[in-house]
Structure 1
Amino acid sequence: MIDLGRCRWQIIATLEMGIMMLAHGMALGWLSAMYLYLSSDNTPLDEKLTVYQASWTGSLIAIGGLFGNVSIGIPLYYLGRKPIMYFLAFPNAIHWILIYFGTNVIYLYVARFFAGVSGGCVLSVFPVFISEIADSNIRGALTSTIVCATSTGILLGYILGYFLDYKVLPCVILLLPTIYLISITFLPETPFFLLKAGKTEKAEKSFYFYKHLPHEDSESKKQFKEFEERLSNEGTVDIVTINDYCNKEAWKAYGLIFVLLCTHQMSGNFAIVTYATTIFRHLNNDFEVNLSAIGLGVAQLLGMISAIFLVDRVGRRILLLSSMGGMAGGELTIAGLKYFASKQFLKEYGWFGLATMCFIIFVAGMGVGSLTFLVVVELLPNKIISIGCSTSMCLLSILAFTALKIYPIMMAEHGLGPTMIMSASVCVVALIILGIFLPETKNKQLA
């Protein structure tokens, strides 16, 4: 049973971070909503977008993410979580300003790079921040909530991109980074980092704040002392050495994280959402592609809401494995439609292709899309979480660039069928490997 009184500030802090994740999600959903418009004769740019330009526009967000991941690891370790949390609002704001003033594809390239920088920082710092303030029985739900906020942002990006004028949308979304910056001002640094920095008095106050405990109570002091002793006994607050990164526990974590991150990107989890309108055009149904993409966004959001309620009850492992199996089945079904169904069938039963795509994204949201970042943090040894998480997100950005670059080109040159078979194969391989080696991590003590 979750004690909402004790967890009050943990939940509020998560919701404040969710504002920034909402803005990041809207940046992700924006391209799918605007792609057909930007590539049409009515484009607001000097010339319409080509397939190859669109692939760069989509994938440069991953290059920006890589830059954010690489540059954030050391500051996150030495300066703390709060300074990084302030910084990451600014590249997101720059993204929307460039979109507003942009007149050619170069503006889009630079804008998407800045959106990626913000996203890379977000994915490096927020899961770490939550892991260091949250009780173990609510940590999974809180981490899933910020990922769910991203999904909500993607859906809003689809909807607002469809209904609002191209120049109006950036003005609306710029409010979110502003609200986020104001709201996090009152949050203290995590007790974990403050202890590591030798600021015991501040760490104690932070611990009481996030656990919602009275300051002068003997029971409160006892709980903080136990927290301090546990971290000390684990060596978590000691100076990190190269041996902490090169041992059996760490190498096992790296291997599992590599498989998880490959699955997160190469399964199509992210690329399908980014290029949703293009995929629906390949399915040749009579539904309006932007409205179909909105349906996809709703399905993803419902999947992630399901994860919030299930992750701390049934665990991470079963949700991840079920998600991979469901995605593989759905993607092979789409490939079968492209190989064996006639154009007449696709037009008459267009709802079936739409329903299958929604199923793929629903099960992805329930596991692969929502839990990967949580499990990455929980797999890493406590002592190397900051640098390890940042390094893992570097790999994620490289894989995201690869997936976003090849997806539109592969669909254009080889068709949707082979693309879906490729993604399904990744899911099947990951299902076998993780089914054998992935442990359950929901009871790991971090905060």
Structure 2
Amino acid sequence: MVKEQRDVERGTTDDGKYRERDTEPLIEKDVVGGNTEGSISISLLSTAVAVLGSFQYGLCIGYSSPTQSGIINELNLSLSEFSLFGSFLTVGAMIGAITCGKLTDYLGRKRAMGFSSVFCLFGWFAIYFAGSSIWLDLGRLFGGVGIGVFSYVVPVFVAEISPANLRGTLTAINQVMICGGVASVYIIGLFVTWRRLTILGIVPCLILLLGLFFIPDSPRWLAKVGNTDMCKSSLQRLRGRDADISNELAEIQEYIQTVNTLPRSRLRDLFQRRYSRTLIVGVGLMLLQQFGGVNAVNFYASETFISAGFSSGSLGTISLGVIQVLFTIIGSLLMDKSGRRSLLMISASGSCLGTFLAGLSFFFTGQGIFLDWASMLALVGIVVYIGSFAIGIGGIPWVIMSEIFPINIKGIGGSMVTLSNWAASWIVTFGFNFLMDWSCSGTFFIFSAVSGFTILFIFKMVPETKGRTLEEIQTELNS
């Protein structure tokens, strides 16, 4: 704790504290503002409601894995028809990514989450009642649109409502819930039919829609649209009834006034020199996250675990999901202690090592040497990669994305970053089989090289945002 520095008269009161010239008592503050009598219970509740959208994201991503044989057998689909069903999620997500910025700026953060929930609900019901591939594909497309918006609005909303000293941890819960959704659908999918598994997606959507009635909208968005009274009310609820929000409120309003002097933002404005570093950091982290091969590694994990001695690929996949959840939780707890940059550097270094070990194992197998060690080396490499990815590079780029864009271009910038992520994901997923046909070891060595370049990128370009207000971060990057 530190005491706020003020110009005060000499002398003390009976309780030993200085008084200002206007005789108001000096208020003890923490390092990010707000007095010690505040409460973050509403911030925590709001975060809990919002990250149900992240859980939904994970459920949608993982749904096709445990349901493949059931859907194909019951609806008499070919493998190519099922692959098309799976791909529609990414197509929908790219549509959602294109629209998410404008939608979130126009409707507000809360309404955008409600919009996403409705799309996901329609998608799950379409899949549940599907009697043909058409309804399956339509449901998958609508679910993709929903999670495309969720992938942007959830971290932005949580970042905008969180106290600066907890923003990293609370925003990182986004990635924890994504991994939790994937792990949940993998595990429960072993015991229920593909139709009943859709209920696991429907329930969180309904809870989220109900929860939105009990939480405030982002005070920064409310300030941006000129609703000063609601901005103040929202911030007071988020910081606690007795908290002193005057400094934080003044900082938000001052920053919004500065932003409002700027012309209405358009796509080309995003490419102005003043925003160049912000755009490079946001898009660069997303591209490097995906080109590091996470989706490809997850795709190949089942066969890798079988070759390493596991009794079934599903057991290996579940283990992978559990590892992701565990290390993502560790990363979220460390983020506001160690900082974003250091965790990203550690994460990228581990990812580089893990994919290098996996590539080395494939090289040994291809050369017919060290065969007794090759499968175990692949297992170690995959575990090291997934754990390292989850602790930092998996979630922190979304945290930083939510922090670095000034509010006047946050919608456009967020759409660009989110679209970059989903487009890169599609490229890697589509090209993985071709790369593996070319060279298994070479594929993983490429992933390792990308992670190595990520270390240099973070060192040169990515700022440390730990413990700083959004306004401080954005002023430094974009001035």
Give yes or no for TM over 0.5: yes
After TM superposition, the score normalised by the length of structure 2 is 0.83
Q: CA 1:147–1:5 in 2, change beyond 3 Å: closer, same or farther?
A: farther
Please, which of 429, 441, 445 is the counterpart of residue 417 of structure 1? 441
User: Per-residue CA shift, 1:321-371, capped at 9, x if unaligned?
Assistant: 211111111111111111213889768875553343122111101111111
1:22 aligned partner: 55
Q: 2 CA distance for matches of 1:91 and 1:274?
A: 26
8 A Cα contact 2:57 2:151, kept in partner = no
Q: Which of these residues, 34, 43, 48, is aligned with residue 10 of structure 1?
A: 43
- 1:428 maps to what in 2? 452
Q: Within 5 Å, give how 1:36-55 maps onto structure 2.
A: 43-50=73-80
Distance 1:308 1:163 in 2: 31
Instruction: Report the equivalent of 1:357.
Output: 382
- In 1, the alpha carbon distance for the partners of 2:248 and 2:386 equals 42
1:378/1:171 Cα in 2 relative to 1: closer, same or farther (>3 Å)? closer
**Mean alpha-carbon deviation: is it higher for 223-232 or for 368-377?**
223-232
Find out whether 1:33 has 2:66 as its counterpart. Answer: yes
Counterpart CA distance in 1 for 2:37 and 2:43 is 9
Distance 1:279 1:33 in 2: 17
In structure 2, the partner of 1:337 is 361
Q: Structure 2 vs 1, CA of residues 390 and 144 (structure 1 numbering), >3 Å: closer, same or farther?
A: same
Q: Does residue 260 of the first structure (1) align with residue 317 of the second (2)?
A: no
Whether the 8 Å contact between 1:295 and 1:358 is mirrored in structure 2 is no
Q: Which of 21-30 and 299-308 deviates more? A: 21-30
Give runs of aligned pairs for residues 253-332 of structure 1, distance below 5 A.
Answer: 253-274=278-299, 276-280=301-305, 283=307, 285-332=309-356
| Aligned counterpart, 1:394 | 419
Which of 191, 200, 221 is 1:193 aligned to? 221
Q: Which of 254, 257, 263 pairs up with 1:230?
A: 254
- 1:54-73 aligned at under 5 Å gives the runs 56-73=84-101
Cα distance change of structure 1 residues 86 and 151 upon mapping to structure 2, 3 Å threshold: same
Closer/same/farther in 2, CA of residues 108 and 348 from structure 1, 3 Å limit: farther
Judge which range, 171-180 or 326-335, deviates more.
Answer: 171-180
Distance across 2 between alignment mates of 1:74 and 1:287 = 48
Identify which range, 1-10 or 79-88, moves more after superposition: 1-10
Q: Hey, what's the Cα distance between the residues in 2 that align with 1:4 and 1:337?
A: 57
Q: Which amino acid aligns with 1:364?
A: F
Q: Which runs of 5+ in 2 are unaligned?
A: 2-29, 31-35, 472-479
C-alpha separation between the residues in 1 aligned to 2:369 and 2:137? 39
Shift of 1:444: 3.4
| RMSD of aligned Cα (Å) | 2.8
Task: Tell me what 1:99 maps to.
Answer: 127
Could you tell me which residue of structure 1 aligns to residue 4 of structure 2?
A: none
2:183 counterpart of 1:155: yes
Partner amino acid for 2:469?
Answer: Q
CA contact (8 A) 1:196 1:237 kept: no
- Runs of at least 4 residues off by over 6 Å: 1-4, 342-349
Q: Greater CA deviation, 305-314 or 370-379?
A: 370-379
Call closer, same or farther: CA 1:287–1:93 in 2, change over 3 Å. same
Contact map agreement 2:173 2:332 (CA 8 A) in 1: yes
Q: Which deviations, in whole Å up to 9, do the C-alpha atoms of 1:6-28 show, x marking residues without a partner? A: 22211111111222221221121
2:105 pairs with 1:77: yes
Deviation sequence 1:90-137 (CA, Å, 0-9, x none): 222233223323345444433332222111100121111112111111
| Structure 1 Cα separation of the partners of residues 129 and 435 of structure 2 | 31
Counterpart CA distance in 2 for 1:293 and 1:303 is: 16
| Matched residue SS, 1:381 | coil
Once residues 300 and 276 of structure 1 are traced to their aligned partners in structure 2, the CA distance between those partners, rounded to angstroms, is 13
Tell me if the contact between 1:265 and 1:271 (Cα under 8 Å) persists in the aligned partners.
no
Residue of structure 2 equivalent to 1:405: 430
> How far apart are the structure 2 equivalents of 1:238 and 1:135?
27
CA distances 1:29-88 after superposition (whole Å, capped 9, x unpaired): 12233346667xxx32313414xx565444432221110111222222222112111110
Cα contact 2:282–2:401 (8 A) shared by 1: yes
Change (3 A) 1:101 1:79: closer
Structure 1's 5 and 289: CA in aligned 2 closer, same or farther, altered over 3 A?
A: farther
CA gap 1:430/1:225 in 2 versus in 1, 3 angstroms: closer
* 8 Å contact from structure 1 (residues 58, 405) kept in 2: no
TM-score by length of 1: 0.88
Work out the CA distance in 2 between the residues paired with 1:328 and 1:208: 45
Paired residues in the alignment total 436
Q: Which residue pairs with 1:142 in the alignment?
A: 170
Q: Does 1:207 align with 2:235?
A: yes
What stretches of structure 1 of length at least 5 have no aligned partner?
none
Q: What's the counterpart of residue 141 of structure 2?
A: 113
Which of 1 and 2 has higher RCO (CA within 8 Å, sep 6+)?
A: 1
Q: Which amino acid aligns with 1:377?
A: S
Q: 1:420 to 1:367 in 2, by over 3 A?
A: same
* DSSP 3-state at the match of 2:409: helix
Structure of higher CA gyration radius: 2
In 2, Cα distance between the equivalents of 1:86 and 1:98? Answer: 18
Provide the rounded CA distance (Å) in 1 between the counterparts of 2:303 and 2:138. 23
3-state DSSP class of the match of 1:136? coil
Residue 180 of structure 1: aligned partner: 208
Matching residue's letter, 1:112: R
Code of the aligned partner of 1:136: A
- Show the counterpart of 2:6: none
Contact residue 26 and residue 153 of structure 1 kept, 8 A:
yes
Asked if structure 2 preserves the Cα contact closer than 8 Å seen for 1:265 and 1:396, the reply is yes
